[in-house]
Structure formats: C-alpha cells, structure tokens
Amino acid sequence: MSVSYWLGVDTGGTFTDFVLLGDGEPRIHKVLSTPTAPEQAILQGIGELGLDDAMAAGQLAIVHGTTVATNAALEGKGVHTVLVTNQGLEDILRIGRQNRAELYNLTPTPPPSVLETLPVAGTSCRLDAQGQEVTPLSEASLSQLVEEVLAHQPQSVALCLLFSYLNPAHEQRIREALEVTGLPVSASHTILPTRGEYERGIATWLNAWLAPKVANYLQRLQQATSPAPLAIMQSHGGTIASEQAADLAVNLLLSGPAGGLAAAKRLGEQLQQPQLMTFDMGGTSTDVALLDGDLRLTQQGHIGPYPVAVPMVDMHTIGAGGGSLAYVDDAGLLHVGPHSAGADPGPACYGRGGDRVTVTDANVVLGRLQPDFALGGSLTLDVASAKNAMQQLATQLGLGMEETAEGVLALANEHMTQALRVISIQKGFDPADFALLSFGGAGGLHVCALADNLGMQRAIVPRRAGVLSAEGLVYAPRKREHLQALPEASDDTTLQSLITALQQQGSEELIQEGVPERDIQHQVFVDMCYQGQSSVLQIPWQSAAAEREKRFHAAHEQRFGHRLALPVQQVNIRVQSLATTYPPPQPPLPARTGQANRQAQLPGVDPLVTVYDRETLGADQTLHGPALISEAVGTTWLAQGWQASVDQSGHLLLDRSDA
C-alpha cells in the first residue's frame, strides 16, 4: 500500500479541523467536535471529505492532534491508579513543593485534588544518591508488595523509586512482577529519568492515570480507520505512531497546540522570519508561544495544578477564545472568560440556543463578522440572537449595546496581550523584535489590536490560518526526545557514551515505525545550572566543556538578566532523534487580483470598510485598513493604520502603514 493523501486532524474544544494534502490545492474542512467520543467527529469529517475509500485502501495517512489526555487531566477523570514508592515517601505527591497560591493566608483551604485519595504502597528497598544499593529488594518483600497493590484493585500502577534514574534495577523487577498480573505499569526510569522525585513522580503518576484512557481512545480510532497509518502529535512537536503513543499519555498533553507551532516553525523558515510570537485563538482558549529560530521546549510546564516535567513546547494558555463568556459580577464589573460556551450550544450567533454573550458575539455586533460570513465554512451567523444577548448584557451595565461589545473585545484583548507578555517580556525578549503570527479560527479578528498593545510593527496571518494547527500536524517530523540524568562526576567520555546510547535508542524506535535509518538526524543538548540551583537551561551540545559553560553563562544572562560567579553543573543529557516528513507539495498561488466585494459601515469605524474574499486575492496585492478579509475558516480584521501584502504562497504580511 502506498500513501496518496495526507490528512491532518486537530480536535479542539469547539471544532475538529481537517487539512487534506495530495489532491492539488489543499482541502480544508471543519465539523463540530464530539467531546464524549472524539473519534465520531473525525470519522464524520473523513466521510464528508469523501475519503472513506482511500482510508479503506490504506492510501490515507492520518496525523492527529488529540485532547483526550488533556481533558481527562483537567476534568480529573483518569483511571483508578496505585502509586508504588519507597517507604517513608508515601506522601510525597500530596506534599509537593509547598508552593502556596495564597502566600499570606495562614489557614488556606487546599483545592480539591485526586491525589488526596491516591492509594500508595511502600517498598523497603533503597538506593543511595549514586545509585548504589543500600537495601536490597528481597523476593519476600516483592511478593508482599504485589499483594498490597492488588488489594486496591487498581486499573493502573505508577512506579517511582528514589534514584531509579541512576539505577533502574529495582523498578524493573517490580514492574515485571506487576505486569505478570496484567496491570499496566508506568515506571519513572522510562517516563522521566532525571532528578526531582516530586516532578518525576507526578509525571509517572499522570502517565499511569491517563494512559488507559488514551489507549482506549486510540484503539477505537485505529479500529475505525484501519488500515490507514495513524500518527499522533506529541507535546514536544514531533509525531509518534499511535501504537507507541498509547503508553506515553503524559507526552500528549499538548498534542493539538504543538501542531500549530510545527506549522509556525515551517512558515518562519519559508518567510525567513525566525523570530515569531505565535497567537492561536480558538473557540475555547488561546495559546501563545515564542519561536526564536526553533521551537522552545520546557520542563516546567503545567496541566491544571500539576507540574509536567517531560519535554513540551514552551506555551502559555489562557481561557480566552471566541466562545469565552462575558458576564457582570456582583459588583457590576464586566468580565470575559475563562468559562466558554463550548460547541453546544456555542455563542448566541450560532443559533443553537445559546443566549449568553461571547467574544464571537461581540465581533458580530460590531460588524467584524458579517451576516454572509459562514463560520467553519457552513455555520450561518444569527445576528439577531447575538444582538439580543448583547443588549441584555448592556442593560446590566447601563451602557449601549455597541459600547458593551467594544468593552468585551477590549477585555479579551487585554487578557491575550498579558499572555503574550508572559512569554516575551517576562523571559527577556522585546516583542518589537518579533512578528506576531496569528492563527486559529478567531485569531485574525484580534491580531492588529494585540500587535498595537505590544508595540509590534509586523504581523502574519497565514493562508488557512483557521486550520493551521491541523496543517502543521502533517508537516511535523517524526520525533523522539530522550534524556538521562548525569551522575555527579561525569567526564566527557561518560557523556559521549550516554549520547551514543540515547541516539541508538531514538533510532531504534523510529526504525520500528518504518523510518529509514539514513533519514534519522540527532540533535544533542545538555541541561545546565549554577551549583545550588534547581532549575536548568537547555544548551546545545558542544564537544568542548569550556564552550558549553560559556554558552550557559550567556543564556542565563539573557533569560534572567545576570550571570553568577559560581561553578556550573551539567544535569541531564538530552537527545532529539527526528526524521523529516515529505507530504505532497502544494501548488503555487494562482495568478489573480481580487477586487473588493463591497464596502460596509461598521459601528465605531468612521471610514467605510472594504470587504474582500481571501480566496480571490493574488500575489503581491496590497490591502489597506480598515478592511475585512473573509475566508471559509477565519476572518481577518485589518484595522485602520495597518496594511497587508499577499506573498507568493497567499500569506498575509501585515505592517503598520504609518510606521
């Protein structure tokens, strides 16, 4: 079987997006998500795209960004899990790092957590800080441990012992004994082999807690799409075969958003614009990230209240999207988000029974979404319902309807601006040095306002921006990310030996997916910190130790504004093994010069607004704001003072016309 079509599928909170390559011009499609069974929306979209026969013949390659692990974690709906750890450390996950949300509250009420009722089994075996055995694991204690675990009737087991990242022998024996009983076991030496027993324990527990849910979903999806090859996007921006993804649920927590960053990296390379701040605004949330030549990864991510120390794209997410609800509190103040109208009933303008104001409704009331614009390509706007909902909110505030709509947008824009400041200014970057890359179904309506708020002069609204995350899935490389904590005394010979072993591990896993060995590339990094620090910076590997240390000092100064006169420690070796994918090329933009459809008078905008159909625009065409540029999967509001030029691929390159 040979693959003829490549399909990117991104499941979001409101829509499931599809981008199909391999049949001339890329085809795009959207369907409303089905949160209780996400595969139903995927199969619906495949059918509506006419791909059932290609799928049955194995000619369709599917790359999927999933929110199953994320939603289960946020909703506290993992499976019944037992934690196995060393005796005396049974409470480590509940104690955590003692970070306090209310620093000056002497009697804080802890938020509810599933960890409070987590059953824990302790074992007497122990290693020291060098990985040497202090207390052996006897057969009697192993049998007793297995009985104790089985008494809890778990569906999954998380196994995390002290210093197992230096010597996994005890964890391996316990895992083998438990797997004989049929239980799935997540062991910390394979999930996150690095120091920090709390972060390593949380990552291992999250994987054990979520993996059966993810495996069940992927099994259903595989059965429904077989024999089509199915790959899943991982949180670090690379894909993995679905068969292997099922056991690595903790690596899928940013599966969908990572697709957008993969597309952003590719677009930055095409436009020779490596410095990008990305802004992905969907129906439920907004994701922002910063690219400085490549994807920035972090080991300090979070999902809800839990730290996630596995490698993931460095992204900041807030509850502000097109479906974010606006409301008035008891003090008479207007708020926007974080709660969302979701896919059903959705915003009032969807005409599906929603009667509460959302950000999308505010754009409708202000005319930035016109009555003839079809959201998602097929969803007709109900302007009357949007205005009725807005009028009720305006009455509560004692304001006019249009004034209230402007307030809703101003608040939403401020929330998103603050998120962009978090990933730029707070990390030592000046937004003015970057271009703002906007995507997601709602992003184009807000891009000019956010760029203005941040003092940015350039922005980009890519072609098919509303489904860019789905398109990015298709172009993402196949990838593995492996790391290994270093012993305290590690010379260059030890480091090179570990690098070779991790490269071999990455190659073997990619070869199992059918990747030719000649196509595999490796990138090596070392995590470093000053002596006594607990957080690390990731530095590209250099064979000379002095050069590594020099680069660390420079990176620390850029990130924190200073460098220290302290010894530098090497903490982890990290190897990325990847293979580039080559979907069918896209045809060039047809020669055309799109004329304005009409002019419209928008509330609060003095000059008439020119309305364009994006699908009629040609290369080198320049548009001047104020203008609306509509397409099937998004609308761009080109504000007054901005202009947009169309490049050879159809992307809109925005600049301040008064700059």
Is residue 386, in this structure, part of any structural domain at all? no
Q: Are residues 560 and 544 in the same domain?
A: yes
* pTM of this structure: 0.87
Distance from the Cα of residue 181 to its chain's centroid: 35
Averaged pLDDT for residues 418-439: 93
The one-letter code for the residue type at 151 is A
Q: How confident is the model at residue 427 (pLDDT cuts 50, 70, 90)?
A: confident
- CA 406, CA 404: separation in Å to the nearest integer? 5
- CA 334, CA 399: separation in Å to the nearest integer? 11
Is residue 633, in this structure, part of any structural domain at all? no
Torsion of CA 603, 606, 608, 612, to 10 degrees: -70
- Count of domains for the chain: 3
Q: How confident is the model at residue 304 (pLDDT cuts 50, 70, 90)?
A: confident
Answer whether the bond into residue 626 is a cis peptide, omega within 30°.
Answer: yes
Q: Are residues 493 and 516 in the same domain?
A: yes
Q: Residue 421: exposed, middle, or buried by beta-carbon count in 10 A (0-12, 13-18, 19+)?
A: middle
pLDDT for residue 376 is more than 60: no
pLDDT for residue 325 is more than 60: yes
pLDDT at 378: 57
Residue 313's SS3 state is strand
Closest among 233, 175, 166, 176 to 204, alpha carbons compared: 175
Domain boundary among 189, 209, 229: 209
The string of pLDDT tens digits covering residues 264-281 is: 999 999 999 999 999 998
pLDDT for residue 623 is more than 60: yes
Domain boundary among 552, 579, 606: 579
SS (H, E, C) 56-95: HCCCEEEEEECCHHHHHHHCCCCCCEEEEEECCCCCHHHH
- CA 69, CA 91: separation in Å to the nearest integer? 25
pLDDT at 286: 86
pLDDT for residue 404 is more than 90: yes
Contact of 322 with 283, CB cutoff 8 Å: yes
CATH number at residue 563: 3.30.1490
- DSSP character for 112? P
- How many other C-beta atoms are found inside a 10 Å radius of the C-beta of residue 163? 21
pLDDT at 400: 95
pLDDT at 35: 86
- CA 170, CA 175: separation in Å to the nearest integer? 9
Q: Are residues 52 and 132 in the same domain?
A: no
pLDDT at 459: 97
The string of pLDDT tens digits covering residues 572-604 is: 999 999 998 888 777 777 777 778 878 888 998
The string of pLDDT tens digits covering residues 104-145 is: 888 888 778 889 899 999 999 999 998 999 999 999 999 999
pLDDT at 346: 83
Q: Are residues 91 and 161 in the same domain?
A: yes
CB contact set of 270 (below 8 Å; sequence gap of 6+):
649
Averaged pLDDT for residues 99-103: 79
Q: Are residues 131 and 38 in the same domain?
A: no
Averaged pLDDT for residues 75-79: 90
Is residue 570, in this structure, part of any structural domain at all? yes
Closest among 520, 507, 514, 513 to 580, alpha carbons compared: 520
- How many other C-beta atoms are found inside a 10 Å radius of the C-beta of residue 611? 20
Q: The tokens of 269 are what?
A: 């390379």
Is residue 344, in this structure, part of any structural domain at all? no
Q: Are residues 85 and 186 in the same domain?
A: yes
pLDDT at 168: 95
Q: The tokens of 627 are what?
A: 């203008």
Q: Are residues 204 and 221 in the same domain?
A: no
- CA 652, CA 447: separation in Å to the nearest integer? 12
Range of the domain at 190: 80-100+108-209
- DSSP character for 22? S
The one-letter code for the residue type at 207 is N
Domain boundary among 579, 597, 631: 579
Q: In terms of DSSP H, where are the helices of 541-611? A: 545-560
pLDDT at 36: 87
Q: Are residues 19 and 51 in the same domain?
A: yes
pLDDT at 340: 83
Is residue 594, in this structure, part of any structural domain at all? no
CATH number at residue 67: 3.30.420.40
Q: Are residues 145 and 243 in the same domain?
A: no
Q: Are residues 91 and 195 in the same domain?
A: yes
Beta bridge partners of 485: 572
pLDDT at 319: 80
CATH number at residue 91: 3.40.50
Is residue 22, in this structure, part of any structural domain at all? yes
Q: Are residues 503 and 570 in the same domain?
A: yes
The string of pLDDT tens digits covering residues 160-194 is: 999 999 999 999 999 999 999 999 999 999 999 99
Beta strand spans in 381-488 (E): 435-439, 458-461, 478-485
CB contact set of 465 (below 8 Å; sequence gap of 6+):
438, 439, 440, 443, 444, 633, 634, 636
pLDDT at 655: 95
Q: Are residues 523 and 552 in the same domain?
A: yes
Mean pLDDT of the chain: 90
Averaged pLDDT for residues 453-460: 96
- CA 34, CA 66: separation in Å to the nearest integer? 12
Percent of the chain with pLDDT over 70: 98
pLDDT at 294: 81
Q: The tokens of 47 are what?
A: 């059918």
CA angle in degrees (0–180, nearest 5) for 271-276-277 = 145
Contact of 352 with 345, CB cutoff 8 Å: yes
Is residue 92, in this structure, part of any structural domain at all? yes
Strand 568-579 and strand 478-485: the pairing is: antiparallel
The one-letter code for the residue type at 67 is T
The string of pLDDT tens digits covering residues 15-39 is: 899 999 987 788 988 888 888 899 9
Is residue 229, in this structure, part of any structural domain at all? yes
